[in-house]
Amino acid sequence: MKTYVPDKSMRSNPLSRTEGGSTIKVVYQHMDKNPFEVIYENIKYPQKYIDRIMKENVGNGKSILQIFINNEITWEANSK
C-alpha cells in the first residue's frame, strides 16, 4: 500500500506546522485502484480534523476505509 505524508509546507493550518498533537492515518480507496494511506501529523484537535475529512470526502470518488488516531483504529467502513 502506498503511503503519503504531507510535509509541513503542504499543510494549511498553522497549528499543524508546530510539533505535538496526534497522528491521524486515513486509508482510502479511489474507485477501483489499490488502497492508499495518508498520514497527517501534529493534529491538535483529532476529532474535528476527522469530521472535516469525512465531510470533504463526500462525492470526490474516494472512499474512506479506515481511520486511525495514534495507531488505534477509530473508524472503519461497514463496521457496526
pTM for this predicted structure = 0.84
Q: Where in the chain are the domains?
A: 2-76
Decide which of 14 and 70 is more confident: 70
User: Residue 3 and residue 25: Cα distance in Å, rounded?
Assistant: 9
User: Residue 66 and residue 69: Cα distance in Å, rounded?
Assistant: 10
Per residue in 24-39, pLDDT (tens digit) is 999 999 878 899 999 9
Decide which of 10 and 63 is more confident: 63
pLDDT of residue 19: 81
CA distances from 59 to 7, 11, 24, 63 (A): 26, 22, 22, 9
